[in-house]
Every structure is written in structure tokens, then in C-alpha cells.
Structure 1
Amino acid sequence: MIPKKLILKPFLYVITAVVILLASVSIYFLNERNKIVALPKPTGSYAVGRTTYDWIDPSRNETFTEANGSKRKLDVWVWYPADLKENTKKAEYLPGRWKTEQEKSAGMMIYLQQNLTKIQTNSYEEALLSTKQAKYPLVVFEPGMGKIVFNYTALAENLASHGYIVLAINPTFSSDFVVFSDGSTAYKTSKGSMPEGDATDKELNDAGLKLVKTWSKDMSFAISKFSEMSLVKGNMWTEHVDMEHVGAFGHSFGGAASAEASATDERIKASIDIDGYLYGVQKSPQKPLMFIMSQHGQNEIDLLENNKIHDFYNSINKDRYIIEIPKAAHFSFTDNTLFFSPILKAMGIYGTINWERGLQITNSYIATFFDKYLKNVDSNLLDQK
């Protein structure tokens, strides 16, 4: 008979090895997710400020919940050219309860994701508006479905550094969560979202039609609200917003909403759709429009929607551009590409492009496009094929 000690010994070695391996992996993940990550330095000459507002549109009922009679309420983040004082503090990437809600949303997966308290922004909280110019053009932004505008801080900061006020809207009941200044939180609802699973093209477009109307009206309302603020004496925006030069851009569904808003709001002079299929968009804006696209696959939906984009593009008789970024994927345009996220990166969610390079290319085209159509500053970048 083999002694029990000789039988147990190999098992103890295996168990010890497994424990050591798990501990090593845990320590690795803990160290990686807690590394400090600095967002790319903006390429413009202005320092960047950031502030937030909650606004209620009294003219519209909220249709994305079962509650009766409530009005459409929006949380808006604003990035802008700033003058800094000695005591001006850097803005947190995700402040207060936003961080708490993000952790709740991530669940156990949070341990495989970047610690967002370790992100260093280039924005300064409640900084003064820069006095270098008398007025600054306004650009309104919307994120992708489920996303929140903090996911696009690198894009917003860079555009603000080039002398733009960036008005970024968190779409209520379509973003995973929206935290308001009174402490209330709005969570994503089925009415505020696109169909999931194997939805048909018709189902996607029917749902998109309702959503894109609301999102584009959100953009128009935000422009109107900010215009009102610029006319009221006593705030830093007074007479400093150039309402003659307004643009719009967005990512994914926010890109579709930007195209729709440009078609329906005469104040918007030019727009950019970043990798957004045109679900629900029925009319092309006869204004300058740019598509910044990832390298798409060859599945049926991608081919169908890309054909729609090219048909839409060909229907525009103003300046138009399509920029496809090789090796980029749909989420290559978010800050998340820069963060610790081993599973999503291994799945190719962020593409195979160098992630900082992808954001650099995107930022260059955004700034150059709006410079041309909102500031009348031309560049040969847009002429390159």
C-alpha cells in the first residue's frame, strides 16, 4: 500500500502552485488597473475648463419612461477654452456619484477594468473662460448608445483647446446612467434604447426613428439654452458665444443624431458622424458633413449600413468627406482604448490600431473640419485622399 503522505504530497504541490498562480494574477491585475493614465495632451493653444449643468426642457414630455407628465431633463458637460489661476484644480475624470454608479454598473468586472480615479485629465474644474478671444464657436456633442460623455473626454478636451466651447449631452434614459446635481439618477430604459439581439433592419430603423428625433431635439434644445445663457448678464458666457458658428458631432448613435440635428436645425453649420449608422435619419443635411469611420467587417449588417452611408453621402451637394481609419474598431474613438481592459482588448473591441494614434487621427480631423467650416481656417488635410 502506498503511504498517504506520498499520495497527498503531489496534490499539495498542485494546490500550492494554483494558489501562487492565482495570487500572482490578482496582484498583476490590481497593479495594472491602478496605474496612473494621463489622457493625451491637447494639441491646441488653450488651457481647458470644464463645468456641468442640469437643464429641463419645458416644451417636451419625457417619453422614455412610464412616468406621466415629467419633462425632458438633461445633464450637460461643457469643455471650453480657459484662463487658469494658481488655485484652479484639475477636474476629476469621473466625479462623485458618477464614479459610484460606474462601479455599480461594472459589477464584478470592475476588477478587470481601469480604476477611473487614476485617470488624469487635462481639464480644470470651473476655470474662467479665456479672454484671448471675444467669442468662441459652439459645438454640441452626443455619445454612443449607452455611453456617457466622460468616455470621450480626450476628444472634447482637444477640441476645446483649439478654441471651441464643447457642449456634451448625456442622453437621459439612453445612457447607462445619468447623475443629476440634485442627487437623482436616471438609468437606461428599454424605451430609450435600441433593440437587442437579432433585430431586423426594419426594427432597428423604426426604433432609431423615435430615438434620433429625441436626441436631435436634445441637441437643438441645448443650443437654445446656451444661447439664452450667453444673452443673460452676469455669467462667464455673456456675449462670448459665437452663435453664428455652431457645429455638431457625435459617436455611433450620437453621430446619427448629429446628422439629423444638422438637417433640422438651421443654426448648425457643419456636422461630423463618427462611426454612426444612420438608423432613423431620413433627410440628409445640405451642409458640410464628415464621416469618420472605423474599418468595418463584411457581415450583412455592416455591408447594408455602409451602403446606406454612401448613399446618404452621395445625396449631399455640399462639401462632404468620408475618412476610414484602418485597423480601427467601433470603440476606438473612446477614452477606453487607453485604459486597462485585458478581456475587451483581447476580443478586439478596440481594434488593432495603436490606440493613441487612433485618437490622434480622429482629433486632427475633427479640429481641422470645424476650423474650416466654423472659423474659415483652411488646411490641406481635408484635401488628402
Structure 2
Amino acid sequence: MKASTRFHARHPVVTAVAGTAALTWLFQKLRARLFPALLPEPTGPYGVGRAAFDWVDARRQEPYARRGNRPRELSAWLWYPAEPRRGARPGPYLPAGWRLTSLFWRFQASRVRAHAVPGAPVARPPQRHPVLVFSPAGFPPLYYSSLFEELASHGYIVAAVSHTYEALPLSAFADGRLRLFRPASVGGALKVSRASHDEDVRARAEVVRVKAEDLRSLVDELERLEAGSGLLAGRMDLGRLGAFGHSMGGNAAVELCARDERCLAVANMDGGVWSAVAQEGLPRPLLELFAEHPEYVRPCAESVGQKAFTSVEYCEANREFAVDGWQRLYARARPGYSVQIRGAGHASFTDCGLLPLQRGSFASPALGTIEGHRMWRVLSDYLRAFFDRHLRDAPAPLLDGASPFYPEAVLAPPQALFPR
């Protein structure tokens, strides 16, 4: 008689597998409860609240949707100075649909503990706080929560846009809708390029244009919220508006500041400058923050051997383009600051150095060697010093020269940081 390969619910193999799965699930739940990954405690005098909203920019067409003639739909997250009610609990690090992104980045989101309380009352006494708009690149905006919580605890309102179709592997709206990642939204930046350097410059400049327009749309929406009757109405001082961003989001923030007079100061966190502002310059306060980038220091033949570039010619063109662009921005800013954080990698500007990443995470090779909490401290303090000086007219001696308390921070022009 032919042996059957069908298993029923009480078959010993099925029972063993089900039992193992149940034990694994229980272990993960216990580990998340007993050994959470805590984001750094914000150090400012305020508690922190968090909110999200969606909107439609009817003036623009969606550049990445498969079907045309659709308006650009966007979402944003806000962190703000708050006075949470007694007993109020922080929200999850990754709410709703955003939790799915942790599967791609390989960490258990339930283990991560943030500090912001959803919908908490705005801090008293009533006053208007300076506003910072932020552009990420590839990472979901919530993956910068530790930085935003720290800034909000010191009296800033931070509004981070979610560039629809850009976050890996998906974007989530506040109302629960999801949009899967589209490669065109990052201009081929996630892999070693086989196009010509000129083609890459054009593709990435177009991505930056879209992102800068998203930031402009966000500022417009914040003006409507400020004039309305909602949670933050009357509490946002958009006359003291700054911008910052990471990677191509840093370029987008600089582009916004160059095209929109509402932006008074801008910080670029380790972003190449692909758009025209690299040639034109920006006569406003500018802070450039860099990782180490050995591919811009070692011989190009070594970089090609390390598979950072496909050819020596591409490497040389990219190095000259990047460093010269950073140098022109620094030299023409009024004033310009340039800081390299030793040991930092490109992903160190996110929360990834603080997250319980599993082996094989896409972010791990880009984290560098600096410890996550230390990176958070150095990055937070230099950003806050910059915006305090130029949006609050407050002293910021940290920007004036080397500090013995921050030996990782090297203040020097880009051409000195990346000599050719």
C-alpha cells in the first residue's frame, strides 16, 4: 500500500513544529518585555509628543505612481514639546503599517522603546516654538526618532516628511494606506551604478527636485495647521524655520533653503549635493555633517577593488563632483560650518546604531565603528548648537572650534576632510 504523506493536526511532527513555533513566539514576547532596546532619554526640559497627518498636494502630479494623472499624496510625522498627562504612555516606536518595515531592516520593533507620547498636550506656558522640517532618504522618517525626540525636548517642533514610494520597503500613511517602494524614487542610489556619472547626476538631481518640492509642500501645510484650530495651532513659529535632511534628503533641504525664503538655516547630514545649488551656493547659514567616507580618500583603484565604484574614471569624477560641491557650499554660506564625525558611517545618522539589528541587516555595513549612543550625543549637540545660534540667536561655542568633550568631531573645510 502506498504510504501517505498527509499530516493531520495531531501528527507528532505537526505537534512538534507547532510547539516550537509557540515557544519561539513566547520567547520573543518575553525578551521584548524583559530586555527592551531603549532609545536615549531626551535631555531637554520638555516632554515630547508625536502626531501624524496626511495631505494631498493638488498642484503636482505623482511622479512615481504606475498610473498617471494622480496628485502627489504625502504624509508627515511631528515631534513637539509636550506636557503629557499623568500616566500617559509613549507610543510604539513603529506604529501601524510602519512596523512592517522592521522585517526588511531585520529587527524586532516591539523591543524598541521610544519616549514620545501620541497626541500629548503641547507644553505650557503657551508659546510659539521654532520649526525644523526634515527630509529622509530611503529610511522611514521614524528611524530618526531619537534625534527628533531630543530636539523636541529642547523646544523645537520637528516635522519629518515621508516621501511617498521612497522608504524601504514601503511607505505608510497616517490613515493606514501603504505604498511599496519604487526604485525611481532614489535615482539608482542603492546599488553600484553602471550608468555614466553624468547620467547619475541628472537622475539624482531630479529625485532631489521632487524631495525639495515635498518639503515646500510640507511648509505650506504647516502654515495651514498653524492658522487652524488643531493640536499645534498657534504654537509653530514659522518665522524661525530651519531645514535638515539625511543623504539625498540633505540635498533636498539645501535646495529648499535656496529656493524658499521662509527657510533661514539648513543642515545637510552626509548628503551628496546633486542639484544646481552645488554650483550656485547658498548665502545662508549652512552646517555640513559628514561620515568618514574612505572611498573619497583612498586611491580610486582601491575603491574599485572594494566595489564602491565600477571604474577608476567614475570614482574620480564622483569624488571631484562631491567634494567640490561640498566645498563651494561651505565657502559661499553665510556662515558655513563643516564637521566630520570620526567613526561614523552613512547609516550612523539614523537610529540604526541604537536598534537591535539582526545579523545581515541591510544597514549594518554602513554603520561605521562609532557606538550608537555616542553618535546620537555628538550629532544631537552639533545640530542643536547650529539651530540655536541661527534660529534663536543663542550662544553656540561648540561651532567655533575643536572641543575636548567631542574628540570625534573634526571641524575643517570639506577639501581638508577629503583631500585628493
TM-score strictly above 0.5:
yes
What SS does the aligned partner of 2:366 have?
coil
- Tell me the CA shift for residue 270 of structure 1: 0.1
CA separation in 1, counterparts of 2:198 and 2:264?
Answer: 30
Instruction: Give 1:326's aligned residue.
Output: 342
Report if aligned partners of 2:286, 2:330 keep a CA contact under 8 Å in 1: no
Tell me by how many angstroms 1:206 deviates.
0.5
Q: SS in structure 2 opposite 1:191?
A: helix
Q: How many matched pairs?
A: 350
Q: What is the rounded CA distance, in whole Å, between the counterparts of 1:241 and 1:269 in structure 2?
A: 15
Instruction: Identify the residue that residue 114 of structure 1 maps to in structure 2.
Output: 107
Alignment of 1:248-263 (within 5 A): 248-263=243-258
State the partner residue of 1:293. 290
Native 8 Å contact 1:259 1:284 kept in 2: no
1:278/1:308 contact within 8 Å kept: no
Query: Is the alpha carbon distance of 1:102 and 1:84 closer, same or farther for their aligned partners in structure 2, counting shifts above 3 Å?
Result: same
Deviations 1:160-194 (A, max 9, x none): 11101100011111222111234321112133222
In the TM superposition, what is the alpha-carbon distance from 1:311 to its structure 2 partner? 3.0
2-side partners of 1:256 and 1:212: how far apart? 7
Amino acid aligned to 1:74: L
Determine if contact 1:50/1:123 at 8 Å carries over to the other structure: yes
Q: Distance in 2 between matches of 1:31 and 1:353?
A: 30
Give 1:229 deviation, angstroms: 1.2
Deviation at 1:87, TM superposition (A): 4.2
How far does the alpha carbon of each residue in 1:283-332 deviate from its partner, in whole angstroms, 9 at most, with x for none? 42211000010111134367335423433234414111000011111111
Tell me which residue corresponds to 2:207: 211
Is the alpha carbon distance of 1:95 and 1:230 closer, same or farther for their aligned partners in structure 2, counting shifts above 3 Å?
same
Structure 1 unpaired stretches of 5+: 1-25, 107-112
Change (3 A) 1:141 1:346: closer
Shift of 1:132: 3.1
Tell me, what secondary structure is at the counterpart of 1:262?
Answer: helix
Per the alignment, do residues 33 and 47 of structure 1 end up closer, same or farther by CA in structure 2, a change over 3 Å counting?
same
1:21-64 deviations in Å (ceiling 9; x for gaps): xxxxx99x969984411101112111100000001111111111
- C-alpha distance in structure 1 between counterparts of 2:290 and 2:377, whole Å: 14
Other-structure match for 2:163: 171
Indicate which of 128, 152, 156 corresponds to 2:148: 156
Change (3 A) 1:117 1:287: same
1:51-90 matched pairs, under 5 angstroms:
51-90=51-90
Deviations 1:248-300 (A, max 9, x none): 00111111101111101100000000000012243422110000101111343
The whole-number CA distance in structure 2 between the counterparts of 1:379 and 1:354 is 25
Contact 2:82 2:122 in 1 (8 A): yes
Q: Is the 8 A contact 2:281 2:333 kept in 1?
A: no
Task: State the Cα RMSD in Å.
Answer: 2.3
Shift of 1:348: 4.2
Distance in 2, matches of 1:148 and 1:88, equals 25
CA 1:101/1:245 → structure 2, altered by over 3 Å: closer, same or farther?
A: same
Out of 314-323 and 265-274, give the one that drifted further: 314-323
Q: CA deviation at 1:130?
A: 1.0
Residue of structure 2 equivalent to 1:6: none
Instruction: Look up the match of 1:129.
Output: 122
